Structure formats: structure tokens, C-alpha cells
Structure 1
Amino acid sequence: MQGFFQGISFRLAKVGVIVALLVGSLMSAVQIYIDFQAQSKDVNNLIALATDVSTPPAARAIHTLDNMLANEVAEGLMGFDFIVAVTIEDELGNEIAESRRIPVNSSTVWVTKQITQHLVVHSAPLYIPGQDDHGLINFVVDMDAALASFYKHSAVVISIGLIRSFFLVLILFFAFHYLLTKPLISIASQIKQINPGSPGEQRLSLRGLRRDDELKQLVNSGNQLLDAVDLALAKRRAVEVVLRKSEEHVRQIIDSLPVWVGARNKDGHYIFANKALADFLNTSPEAMRGSHISDFASYFLTDPAEVIALDNEVISTRLSAQIWEEKWLNAGGEEHSMHTHVMPMEFYDEVVALVVSSDITELKKAQAQMEHMAYHDALTDLPNRSYLVERLEEEIRKSDRQNFFGALLFIDLDQFKYINDSLGHPAGDGVLKHVAQRLMAIASENDVVVRLGGDEFVVVLTNLGEDISGAILKAEEIAERIRSHVSEPHYYHDLELHVTCSVGIVIYPDEEAGVHELLRFADTAMYQVKEQGRDAIQFFNKYMADKARNVLVMEGDLHRALEMEAFSLQFQPRVNVLTGEIVGAEALLRWNHPERGAVSPAVFIPVLETSGLIVDVGMWVIERSLQQVKEWQRMGLWTRNMRLGVNISPRQFRSSQFVDDVKRALRDIEFSAEMLEMEITEGIVIHNLEETINTMTTLQTQGINFALDDFGTGYSSISYLKKLPVSILKIDQSFVRDITVDRNDRVLVETISAMGNMLGLEVVAEGVETQDQLELISQYGCRYYQGYLASRPVDPNAFELMLEKKVIAPQ
């Protein structure tokens, strides 16, 4: 019954009863109201009729004072059921007739009292003809009796309305039950029988009914929903399968990673760990799940409380943290360096700390090795320049703070290139290793031995005492020991190799000099030794600093001179000894400084050579001199049998573009190569003889002539004459200068001239300044000469005037 009373049909019937009662009551109330109005109208009409009928006789009874007639009138009015009392009064208010009865006390009196008065008094005047005064007839109306028929009719109306509502509700109840409730019960029953795991296997239906209403739509929608749910479940099962496989793959990937992966909750218990971490801790991922970090305290060097505190900070702040290096110990006690990231991670209903650690042990070793390589020389394993700069800065600060002196020794091996060129680099490397070992043997524990590169070494002597004189003596003593030990023989296979060194020394600290200045000062002192003959030591002094500074300033000025074309050429004639005829000229470079005036070539040419500017300037000399001679040739002042001599520096000659640049200049200027004579020195020849011969031969095939300049100043010049493709031999002016007073110079000039003539070479004597010198070289067979006797070097305009004369008379 509880299910029935909770059913839709009962609830709908209940609602129907209420609605029917309300509607029936409303309709009955309207009907009753209408009937009440009609009944009230009828009562009023009857009262009016009774008044109209009784008034004339009552008036005559008063006029005639006929009490009997008055009583008859009163009794006649009492014949109406709803009149319960009648009185007739004369004009003086005397009651002449009266009739009464007790009103019937019915069950509807209370209703009458609600809608009107129970007893209503009506009065009507009784006029007597010819008199102004009138009597009065009064009667009391019982409204309950007057409305009795209305009450009966209303009871019938209400009863019929109730019966009608009852049957209507009953009909609606059965209609709702069979049309709605029963189908819904069937649908609900079918829904209960649906298998949640496979909803698509069953369908909803309305048996025995052919309909196309909301229930049918509900059934269709339900079936569609079942299909959708079944499809969704199928997809979900597929996704679950994929997720399971994906989870397995992710797990495999995490276990395959070479890094440690684990997750810990705020209490320090592991939620999970990958295989790499578990293997290191000598356990399994399954066994680690739920274990506390303190269980593995023997494997790491950090306090577990600190680890848990960091985890909690990451979990609470939701900010990642990094541990750049933490130390762990494996089961064998070997130390491992780990770089760890701790990150917050949502894990089901809590936040945990995801910990990923990378083993950087090998990286640290590699970094240490790389750091060692960055600060040490690969060949000798000595510290390099980078280490020297940092260490020397530290030593300078320490010496300045503690008031003691130190020394910087710049060591360069003398002519070390010969060993590499003749025996190869393995032999040179062996010598460098021996030198490094000897320097280390001499240096004290606190001293620093550095290889800068090539054959250059630096030794930093620390704490030589507070007295500068004593510091200088100690530095000199150690430098001499170094020079002596380096000079001892070096053995390479069966060869005994000898090498010397040049040592430049500078004392520190110096208020005006930092690390790089000290290195430059020591280097300057070392090069001073080179200039003075090598295999010695030299302390740096103010003169060297000024000289080095002047070189740097001059180098900058030379750069600007080249850019602004501030160089010029002068030409010195070459003259036939016998005829005095000009047979050619030597082009000489000149530089007129805007502030210093004319600068000697002996001053600025070496700077051009060391700075590398000689390559560009030398090519400028060739091109400009060729253009000038070409102009003189066009004017008819220069013939094809005359030659232009141009000095070629060693660095310019060894340039990889030298040959191509010369060919290009000859081609662009359209200059005959036979008129060009390149003057080379022994400095070119002694560096890689074979390469020198190849370059000279290539240019000689173009028609260019070569002259060996300053012949006799080198110990091996004679041996080169057999191999070099030279056609001119120029005797150095140092032999010619004293030829008239020095017998040895005369013998040398005579010998060189005779040798050149026998070899078929043209012999030119340089520096002829007197007539006596000219007569002597003529006797010795020199064919041509240059010197102040003929002319000093002059500018192109002055030389043009000489060419016009063709012959130079000795001055």
C-alpha cells in the first residue's frame, strides 16, 4: 500500500480530487449565489405583494375603527409562512390589531444569520382619505423560513457537485493509472533490470501500446542514452586498457632512466621509487614503497631531518628546490655526487615531493679534468697563461700586503725552431718536456713554473725577502741556475741536442704595473737579451719600458701612415763603375712623421717587420715604384736594360700571397718583369731554404731578377750561392767603408768580387763614398756601385733630372 500511495496515479488522483472539489465548490458557490439572489428577489416581491394587498383594508379598518377588519387583515398576512408577527396601529399609535407566532428554529438559522438577519421588520403607512395623519402596519418576516426552499435547492446542488467530482476523480485515477503510471512502472522495472556493465544489451519498450507521445519519446531517449552509455563504457574500457599499458610503459621508462626518481610524503615515507634508486640502495622498488628515508641514512651524508624539512618546504610552498651537489655512498663505500631536483606533485589526494637525482660523479671528474686542462699545458702539464694570470695577481696582492718582493722570469729558448725544422716536432716536444722538468727541479715549492706556449716559459719566484737588493741577487742567482741547467745536453734517441735560453727578469710588486704589464716588462727584457746575442739574463729597466712604449706608439703611427698614404719613395742610382752611366736604381722607403719629422728607416723598418705591417707596406713600395718607373719609361728616361731594385723583407717574402700579389702588380701596371730586381737578405734564405728556392724560382720564371743583399755578413752566405737563383751580388757597405785603410776589408772585397765574377754574377759594391774606394773596387772587378759618391737617395723629381743626364760624374 505504501508503494500505491506513493505512485504517480494516486498522487495525480489526489491532486484531481482537490482540483475537482475546488472547481465543484466554486461552481456550486456561483450557482448558490445566483439562486440566493433569485430567492431574495422572490421574497421581496412577496413582501411587496402582501403589503399591497393588506394596506387598503387595514387603512379602512383604521378609518372606520373596525377592529374586526383589522384582525382579519392581520390574520390574512399571517397566512404567509415567512411572516411571524403582524401589528396595525392607528394614527395615534394605538395598536388596533395584532397576530403572532413563534418562529420555527431550524438547522439553517445559523446560515441565515451569516448571510442576512433572521427576523426582518417591514412597515407600511396606512393613509386615511381627507386626513394628513396615517396609521402604520408592521409585520415581522422570518428570513430563515423565507429561504427554506433556497436551502433545500442548495443542498441538492452541492450533493450533485460532490458526486460529479467523485466520479470525475475516479475516472481520472484509472485513466492516469493505465495511461501513465502503469507504463512508467514497466519502464522503471526494465531500467532496474539493466546490467550496468553492459547497458547496450537491453532495450526499453512499451508493450501492447501503439503510441507516439512523451512516454514513447522517453523510451527512445532512454534507449539512445543506453547506447551512448554503452559506447562511453566501451571507450572507457579502451582508454583504461591504453592507460594501463601507458602506465606500464611509463613505469618501464622511469625504471630505465639513468637517474633516480622517487616520491616522498611530508612524513618522509617513500610513495614510489624507480629501479635505479632502488638498485643503488640495494633494495627493490616494491620494498621501498612505504619505507622511511631514515632507513637509508647509511647511504647518504645528509641528516634525514634536513631532507624531510626540505620536502615539507617544497610541499607547503609548492615551489621547486635544487640541491646542486649532495653526497651519497653506495654499498661499497664509494662516494657519488648527485644533482637533485625536488618538485611538488599532486598524488591522488595529497601533495608529495617528487625527487629526481642525476649522478654527476663522472661530470665532476670531467670538470676537474677540464679545469686542469684549462689551466695546464697539455704537453708539459705545467700551468698555462690563464693560471699564471690568476696566480700572479694573487702573489702581487700578497707581496704588497706582506711587504716582500718577488720576481718574474720570462724564459725563451734560443733558436728552438731549428730543432723542429731539422728533427721534427717530436724531438722539439721532447726538449720542451726536459726543460719543464729542469725548471720544476730548480723552482721551490712555492714558486710557479708556467709554459706560455711554444718555447716560452715563465717562472714566478715568490717571497725573495723584504730587501730589494737581496731579492735582485736571489733572482739573478736562480736565473743563472736556470740558464745553466737548460744549456745542459738534451738526449733524443741517439742524438745529443744543445739549446740555450734568454731570460728576462722583472721584480714585483710595482705600483704602476699589474700582471700584464709585468709580463710585458719581462718579455721586453728577454728580447733585449735576444738583441744582445742570446744565452744571457737581463733585468728590466726604465729604458726598456720607454723603448717598448715608443715601439707601441710608433706602431700606431705607422698604421695611420699607411691608411693616410704618408709614406714616400726615394731612389738611389746604381752606376756603371767604368762609364758612370746610370744602369738602374734602388727604391727606398721614407716616412716623414707629422710631429717627429723624417724618421730613419733603421728605426721604423724593424717595427714594420715585427708588427706585420711590412707585408702591406712592402707591397705598396713595389706598386708605387713600378708605377714611377713606368712613368719614366713613358717619358723616355728609362730603358728596358735598366733595373729597379726593391728590398723584400723576410716576412713579406714568406707571405702566402706574395707571389700572386707580385704577378697581379706586374699585370695591372703592365710592367716588364725583366726590369724588376728583388733584393733579399740572408734572413730570408736561412728560414726554410727549399721553400725560399721554390718562391724565387717561380718569380724568376716570370723574368724577375734576384740580388743577394748585404753579402758577406752571414757565415753561410757562400753555400747559398750554389743553390739560390740569384744574378746579382751586393757587397755590404761595412766592407767597403774601410777598404782604403783596412787590409782585411780589401781582401774580403777582392775575394767576393772575384768569386761573383767567376760564378757569372753581377757584383755591386754598396756604400761607395770616395774616389779612392771607387778606384779600388774597379781594380777588384766590381762592375757597379751605389753610394754617396754618385748620389744620396733623392725624391722622384730629383732622380728624374739625373735620368735626363744619363751619366753621373763622380762628386
Structure 2
Amino acid sequence: MQGFFQGISFRLAKVGVIVALLVGTLMSAVQIYIDFKAQKETVDNQISSITDMSTPPAVRAIHTVDNNLAAEVVEGIMVNDFIVAVTIADENGREFAESQRIPRTSNTIWITKHLSQHLKIFSAPLHIPGPNPKGEHGEMKFVVDMDAAFARFYKHSAVVITIGLIRSFFLVLFLFVAFHYMLTKPLIRIAAQIKQINPGSPGEQRLSIPAHNRDDELNQLVSSGNQLLDAVDLALAKRRAVEVVLRKSEEHVRQIIDSLPVWVGARNRDGHYIFANKALADFLQTSPEAMRGSHVSDFAEYFITDPQEVITLDMEVIKSRISAQIWEEKWVSSGGEEHNMHTHVMPMEFYDEVVALVVSSDITDLKRAQAQMEHMAYHDALTDLPNRSYLVERLEEEVRKSAKHKFYGALLFIDLDQFKYINDSLGHPAGDGVLKHVSQRLMAIASEDDVVVRLGGDEFVVVLTNLGKELPTAILRAEEIGERIRAYVSEPHFYHDLELHVTCSVGIVIYPEEDAGVHELLRYADTAMYQVKEQGRDAIQFFNKYMADRARNVLVMEGDLHRALEVDAFSLHYQPRVDVHSSKIVGAEALLRWNHPERGMISPAEFIPILETSGLIVQVGMWVLERSLRQVKEWQRMGLWTKNMRLGVNISPRQFRSSQFVEDITATLEREEFDAQMLEMEITEGIVIHNLDETINTMSTLCEQGINFALDDFGTGYSSISYLKKLPVSILKIDQSFVRDITVDRNDRVLVETISAMGNMLELDVVAEGVETADQLELVRRYGCLYYQGYLASRPVNPNQFELLLEKHEIIITA
């Protein structure tokens, strides 16, 4: 029964009843309204007719004062059953005749009151005819019962409403039956057929209805339904075909992933593997199938990281949907071999959950190569001894230890005497053999805690540690070891069938020295060594009071430098930077020069270190920047300098570290209205090594303004790939010490080629410094250097001479 009341037939019948009632009511209302208007007009006409018929006899009755005639008129009017009272009176209100009866009662009086008045009074004036009638001579009044007058109308309306209801009932009944047989019953049949459709093969079942429905909407529904079943059946067939293809494709993808040289795995938030490729499974001595469902802790023996840390990282990646990287993750193979892995952990949608996709690349070989590069950065390629970079760091550490524990050490600066003659007469292979022999003899003399360093060329340094807490004892021990070194180095060196002899000059300084840092100690030892050279070589010499006096002379020069800055005695020379391919000038390096009023031109190597140590370098550095910017602006105005050319300005460590460095540079550029993209700041590796993060922040701030940075003298200091990757530099300058002997020294060629290749891989412009011959230019061009500087193009020249070079636009190399 519930299904019947929810059926379409019943709902349509319900709608039909409502519609029929509304339409029937509306039509009946219109019919009743028309009948009401007609009945009202009929009543009005009757009243008018009664008035017209009764007025003449009533006038005669008043004129003749005939009460009987007036009574007859009244009785005649009262014959109409809807009139309940009649009165005839003269103009003085005297009644001639009057009659009335009680109005009838009925159930329609309330309707009458809404449509009109129940008892309505009508009056008619009475005029006596004559030649000069004036005013009214009487009045006839009668009261009409409007309910009685509309009684016929009420009966007719009741009949109309009753017939309308009966008509609506039979109409609804007919519509219900018609809907049931024409619509509901076929739909029930179609619904039953749809329930019987097999979801796996919908095309096997067909929808149908009795044939007498012919080409109506139901037939179209059945036809469309069958077409839909065919389409679904075809789609399912295509889907099955696609699933087959997808399974094959998935298998191919799996084969590709399994063939990748990286480890690929996926773990859920609980740390269970849901997928692993063959490379990962092979390393863990299992299979991809066996790993599915395994917990990460099951393989704890293969990696050093705590499994809980691994799960925690996976959870963070899954929750945040942000990838994470583990730059270096250590794993251990079943054979005990350690592997370094670079791992990416990424969120991945896997069916109805998010998992952590883990991709690990084996960087073991890369780490070995990096370690080798770092070893090369801190060790000499020829002798495998530590180099200057290592020396500075280690010596700083030893000086701190000696000051803390109150013991003495010594620094021995060793330079081979007349070593150049061996290279010149027998060639560099012979010289390299001697250098290797010397390094081996120095290592044999030095203790395990001592440090033996090759600074470069034929210069060595030996750091003697912990020589005792008494200064005389330390001096004696340092002297003894110095003499042993001198004697041992002097012993014959055999190269092929040749017996070679070489001596050495040794300068010694005891540390800790008051107010002397690493570089001061090296300078003191170097000074002592040169004292030996001046005295005839092949001896040892301690840094003494006389040498200290010479060091004090530096103070005199410092005063001269102050005055030079005050009187504007400095000048700038410019050395062109040249494209190795086109020979066009692409920029210039501004170089500071000082013409002393008494000593003449002073070498920058002599006065610039004093500027640095005194702090004057900050002011002088800003002077160099301002003067060079103005000079380039002048050349630009003359049309000799283009916007794609760069001005190189050397920035000293102390200037770079000054608190107002960035502000001073920015203010100078704005004041001089200079395009920052034409400015190139050249910094040394010594600036970088101290507080790398602060260095990067300072450089990045200036780079945002358009300033370029060049790493100057690369390879002579703290050469390290690790910081080179982080620094925002765009130019790498190879030190001239490597270029000088590039045509005859294989080690220098290897270094230049390596540095150039590394710079190109890091997308840096590589500049070779100190190019003096066409052969050197050819080699640096072949090794990938983009630009060069050196005497081959031009010595540093004054602005007027440099203008002549700019006017030529390019450097002409003559054989």
C-alpha cells in the first residue's frame, strides 16, 4: 500500500485533483459571478418596474386624498415576496397607507450581507401634475429583502458547484486510470528489467515495453536505455582493454624503475614498505616482493640512522605534503662497505592514502672525488704535502695551543738556493724530482706532530710544535732541527744518471710572538730567510731585533700613507681584460699606485699590506672606487666604454668586513649615478673563509643591486668547491702563479685546466691572469678560459694611455 501512495499514478492523480479543483473553482467562481451580476440586474429591473407601475396610482391617491386607493397600491406592491414593507405618505409626512411583514430566515443571509445589504430601502418621489408643479407632494418607500431577491441565484450557484465537483471527480478518476496503464505500468516493467541487468555485461539485457505504446516518450526512453546499455558495455570492454594495457605499462614502468641505478622505495606512515625497486632490494639482500609489508626496522643493520628518526621524517613529509632532503645518509652493505646516499623524501598519493616516496642516489664516488678535490685544495699536487691553505689553518691552531698551554713552537721558512738553475738547465722534470726528494727528507726529519708544507715553487715551511716551556730550550731545539734540515737537504740528489746538489736558506721565528698572528709569523720567518739570502745563502737565521727594527719601519710608511691620502697622492692605473676569442677589450681592473715624494713609485705589494693592517685600506678602498667610477663615466661619455663592459675593483678583507661596507657602496653608486651592472668587485679567498654565512649575506645584498663579484687569485688560498658552490660569484680569476709556467710545468697546466673546467661547470666566467705570451694565451683559450689579463695585452697604464687602448677596441697580438 505504501508503494501505491508513492507511485507516479497516485501522485499524478493527486496533482490532477488539485488542478481540477483549482480550475473547477475558478470556472465556478466566474459562472457564479456572472449569475450574480445577472440576478442583481434582474432585481434592479423588478424594483424599477414596480416603482414605475405604482407611482401613478399613488400620486392620484395623494392628490384626491383617497386612502383606499393608496391601500390598494400598497397591497399590490406587497404581492412581491422579496418586498417586506411599503409606505405612502404626503409631503407633510402623513401616511395614507402602510404594510409590512417579517423577513424570512435562511442560511444564506451571511452571504447576502457580504454581497449587499440584507434589507435595502428604496424610495420614489410623488409629484402631482399641474401647470406649475413645485417640489414633492409625497413619497413612496418600500423595503426589499435582498436575501429573498437572491434566493434563485443561490440555488443555481449550488447546482453549479455540485456539478463542478462531480465533473472533477470523474476527471481525476479517468486520469488516474489512464496514467496507470499508459505510464506507471510500463515504467514498473522497465524498472524490473533494469534490476535484472548484469553489471558485468549490461549489453546482454534489453529493455522492452508492449508494442501498442508505439513511438512515444516511453519507447524513446527504452530505445535510449538500450543505447546506453550498449555504450556502457562498449566502455567496459574498452576499460578492460585499457586495464590490460595499463598492467603492461605498469610492468614496463616497474622494469624501468628496477633498472634505475638509484634506490626507489615507498613507505607508509607506520614505516612499512609498500614498494621497493630491485636496486634497493638487492642492497638489502632481499627481493622487491619480500620487502612489501616489511618494516623499516627490519633493515636497521644496513643503515646507521635510527629507524625511529626515519619514521618521524616520513610522518612529517606525509603530514605537511612538503618534500625533504637528506644530503648525506650513511648505509652499510652486507660486506661492511659504507655507502653515502643523497636521499629525497617526497609525498605521493598511493590509492587511498599518502605515502613517503624515497629516492636515494649513491654519492659514495662523488664523496670520494670531493674528498680528493679537498685534498688537492689543501695539498700540493707535486709533493702531496699540505699547502698554504692548510698551513694557515693549522698554524692558527698551534699558535692558540701554545699560548694556552704556555709552551713554545717554531716556524721554519725554507727556500732552496739557486733552484732556478736546475729548472733552466735540466728542465722542470729534474726540478720536480729534486722537490720530491726535499719533501721526503723534510718529512723524515719532522716528528709526527710537526707540519711540513710546500708553499709553492721552491719554498717550504716546517712548523715545529711543543719545543718546551723554556725559551732558550726552544731556540736550541729549533736551531738543531734547522741545521739538520739544512744538512740533509744539502746531500746529493740523484736524477737519472745525474748527481745534483742544492742548498737551502732557513728563516726561523719562535712563537707565540707578541701581537703576531699567522701571517705576521710567516712574514717574520720569510724576513729571516731573506736575511740568509743576503748573507750568502745555505744557513739558518732567527728573526732578531734588527729584523724587528726593520718591521718598525713599516710604521714610518704607515704615516706616509696617511699623508698620501690627505694630499691625494695616490693614482689609478688600469689593465684591460680581453676576450680570448675576439681580442676585444671587455673591461678593466683598477689598480692602485703610489708615487712616494722621496722614494718614487712604491710597489703595491709593499704598501697595500700596510694599508690593510693599519685600517687605512677602508678609506683608500672607497677612494679607489669613487675615482674609478668617475673615470669610467668619463670614458662612457666619450663613447669609449659600453654598458656591457665591467670595471673590476679590488676589495680588501678589512674593507669588506667593515660595518658600513654595503651602505658606503650603495651611497657611492647613487652619488656617482653609476650603473651597478658595470661594477665588478674582486675579492680574495681569504675574505670568504672567515664567517662564510656573513660573507654570502653581504655579497647577496650587493648582487641584488646588480653588482657582480669575482673570486680573485683562485687556487692560491682557501680553494674549496664547497664554498664556491655557495658564493654568488659570476667570475673566477685564475692566479698568475699558475699561468706563469703553464707552458713548461705540467702541474700548472693540470691546475689551470681543472680550475677552468670547474668554473665552466659552475657557469662562471673564467679569467686567466698573468698571460704574457701567445703560447700561454693559446693554452688558456684551449682550456676554456673566456677572458685573460696580462702583459701580453697591456701592462697596467694610466687613464690617458688606457684611452688609447679603448679607442682601438681590441688588442692586436703580434708573434
Per the normalisation by structure 2, the TM-score is: 0.53
Provide the C-alpha distance between the structure 1 equivalents of 2:128 and 2:483, rounded to a whole number of angstroms: 181
Give the secondary structure class of the aligned counterpart of 1:81.
coil
Is contact 1:344–1:354 with CA below 8 Å preserved after alignment?
Answer: yes
Q: Which moved more, 1:133-142 or 1:343-352?
A: 133-142
Is contact 2:266–2:358 with CA below 8 Å preserved after alignment?
Answer: yes
How far off is 1:406 after superposition?
Answer: 0.9
How far off is 1:44 after superposition?
Answer: 3.0
Is contact 1:479–1:503 with CA below 8 Å preserved after alignment?
Answer: no
How far off is 1:300 after superposition?
Answer: 4.0
Q: Which moved more, 1:231-240 or 1:468-477?
A: 231-240
The one-letter amino acid paired with 1:22 is: L
Is contact 1:504–1:540 with CA below 8 Å preserved after alignment?
Answer: no
Query: C-alpha deviations, 1:92-114, integer Å up to 9, x for none?
Result: 97877666666665565554454
**How does 1:22-61 map onto structure 2 within 5 Å?**
22-57=22-57
Structure 1 partner of 2:416? 412
CA shift in 2, pair 1:26/1:435, >3 Å: closer
Provide the C-alpha distance between the structure 2 equivalents of 1:376 and 1:60, rounded to a whole number of angstroms: 157
Give the secondary structure class of the aligned counterpart of 1:484.
helix
**How does 1:696-735 map onto structure 2 within 5 Å?**
none
Q: Does 1:323 align with 2:326?
A: yes
Structure 1 partner of 2:390? 387
Is contact 1:504–1:524 with CA below 8 Å preserved after alignment?
Answer: no
How far off is 1:507 after superposition?
Answer: 1.6
**How does 1:181-192 map onto structure 2 within 5 Å?**
none
**How does 1:411-430 map onto structure 2 within 5 Å?**
411-412=415-416, 425=429
Structure 2 partner of 1:618? none
How far off is 1:512 after superposition?
Answer: 8.5
The one-letter amino acid paired with 1:29 is: A
CA shift in 2, pair 1:456/1:5, >3 Å: same
User: RMSD across aligned C-alpha pairs, in angstroms?
Assistant: 5.6
Give the secondary structure class of the aligned counterpart of 2:386.
coil
Is contact 1:338–1:359 with CA below 8 Å preserved after alignment?
Answer: yes
The size of the alignment, in residue pairs, is 560
Query: C-alpha deviations, 1:738-780, integer Å up to 9, x for none?
Result: xxxxxxxxxxxxxxxxxxxxxxxxxxxxxxxxxxxxxxxxxxx
Provide the C-alpha distance between the structure 1 equivalents of 2:598 and 2:141, rounded to a whole number of angstroms: 160
CA shift in 2, pair 1:215/1:545, >3 Å: farther
Structure 2 partner of 1:507? 509
CA shift in 2, pair 1:331/1:66, >3 Å: same
Query: C-alpha deviations, 1:87-136, integer Å up to 9, x for none?
Result: 66788978776666666655655544543444545555677899999777
Structure 1 partner of 2:481? 478
The one-letter amino acid paired with 2:33 is: Y
How far off is 1:357 after superposition?
Answer: 3.5
Give the secondary structure class of the aligned counterpart of 2:251.
helix
Provide the C-alpha distance between the structure 1 equivalents of 2:599 and 2:118, rounded to a whole number of angstroms: 152
How far off is 1:295 after superposition?
Answer: 4.5
Q: Which moved more, 1:360-369 or 1:229-238?
A: 229-238
Give the secondary structure class of the aligned counterpart of 1:507.
strand
**How does 1:170-249 map onto structure 2 within 5 Å?**
237=240, 240-249=243-252
Provide the C-alpha distance between the structure 1 equivalents of 2:444 and 2:260, rounded to a whole number of angstroms: 50
Is contact 1:503–1:525 with CA below 8 Å preserved after alignment?
Answer: no
Provide the C-alpha distance between the structure 1 equivalents of 2:491 and 2:334, rounded to a whole number of angstroms: 54
Structure 1 partner of 2:115? 115
The one-letter amino acid paired with 2:508 is: V
How far off is 1:530 after superposition?
Answer: 7.1
CA shift in 2, pair 1:14/1:461, >3 Å: closer
Is contact 1:266–1:352 with CA below 8 Å preserved after alignment?
Answer: yes
Is contact 1:71–1:98 with CA below 8 Å preserved after alignment?
Answer: yes
Per the normalisation by structure 1, the TM-score is: 0.54
How far off is 1:410 after superposition?
Answer: 0.7
Q: Which moved more, 1:28-37 or 1:329-338?
A: 329-338
Provide the C-alpha distance between the structure 2 equivalents of 1:392 and 1:357, rounded to a whole number of angstroms: 40
Larger radius of gyration, structure 1 or 2? 1
Of 434, 442, 467 in structure 2, the residue corresponding to residue 439 of structure 1 is 442
How far off is 1:169 after superposition?
Answer: 5.8
Is contact 1:521–1:545 with CA below 8 Å preserved after alignment?
Answer: no
Give the secondary structure class of the aligned counterpart of 1:408.
strand
CA shift in 2, pair 1:325/1:424, >3 Å: closer
Query: C-alpha deviations, 1:202-231, integer Å up to 9, x for none?
Result: 898998699999889878887887787677
Query: C-alpha deviations, 1:523-574, integer Å up to 9, x for none?
Result: 6766776787765545567689989x99xx9xxxxxx99x9xxxxxxxxxxx
Q: Does 1:81 align with 2:81?
A: yes
Is contact 2:347–2:357 with CA below 8 Å preserved after alignment?
Answer: yes
How far off is 1:408 after superposition?
Answer: 0.6
Give the secondary structure class of the aligned counterpart of 2:501.
coil
CA shift in 2, pair 1:110/1:439, >3 Å: closer
Provide the C-alpha distance between the structure 1 equivalents of 2:122 and 2:420, rounded to a whole number of angstroms: 162
How far off is 1:482 after superposition?
Answer: 2.8
Is contact 2:203–2:229 with CA below 8 Å preserved after alignment?
Answer: yes
Query: C-alpha deviations, 1:141-184, integer Å up to 9, x for none?
Result: 44344333333443444455556656766777788778877887
CA shift in 2, pair 1:275/1:77, >3 Å: same
Structure 2 partner of 1:687? none
Give the secondary structure class of the aligned counterpart of 1:506.
strand
**How does 1:545-560 map onto structure 2 within 5 Å?**
none
Give the secondary structure class of the aligned counterpart of 2:411.
strand
Provide the C-alpha distance between the structure 2 equivalents of 1:378 and 1:129, rounded to a whole number of angstroms: 157
Provide the C-alpha distance between the structure 1 equivalents of 2:486 and 2:84, rounded to a whole number of angstroms: 167
Provide the C-alpha distance between the structure 2 equivalents of 1:168 and 1:368, rounded to a whole number of angstroms: 100
Structure 2 partner of 1:582? none
Structure 2 partner of 1:449? 452
Provide the C-alpha distance between the structure 2 equivalents of 1:527 and 1:96, rounded to a whole number of angstroms: 169
Is contact 2:409–2:463 with CA below 8 Å preserved after alignment?
Answer: no
Query: C-alpha deviations, 1:667-700, integer Å up to 9, x for none?
Result: xxxxxxxxxxxxxxxxxxxxxxxxxxxxxxxxxx
Is contact 1:414–1:534 with CA below 8 Å preserved after alignment?
Answer: no
The one-letter amino acid paired with 1:482 is: I
CA shift in 2, pair 1:55/1:531, >3 Å: closer
Provide the C-alpha distance between the structure 2 equivalents of 1:533 and 1:290, rounded to a whole number of angstroms: 81
Of 378, 384, 404 in structure 2, the residue corresponding to residue 375 of structure 1 is 378
Give the secondary structure class of the aligned counterpart of 1:80.
coil
Is contact 2:417–2:537 with CA below 8 Å preserved after alignment?
Answer: no
Of 154, 158, 167 in structure 1, the residue corresponding to residue 157 of structure 2 is 154
Is contact 2:317–2:347 with CA below 8 Å preserved after alignment?
Answer: yes
The one-letter amino acid paired with 2:484 is: R
Q: Which moved more, 1:532-541 or 1:306-315?
A: 532-541
CA shift in 2, pair 1:293/1:385, >3 Å: same
Gaps of 5+ in 2: 558-571, 576-595, 601-740, 745-815
Provide the C-alpha distance between the structure 1 equivalents of 2:183 and 2:167, rounded to a whole number of angstroms: 23
The one-letter amino acid paired with 2:412 is: L
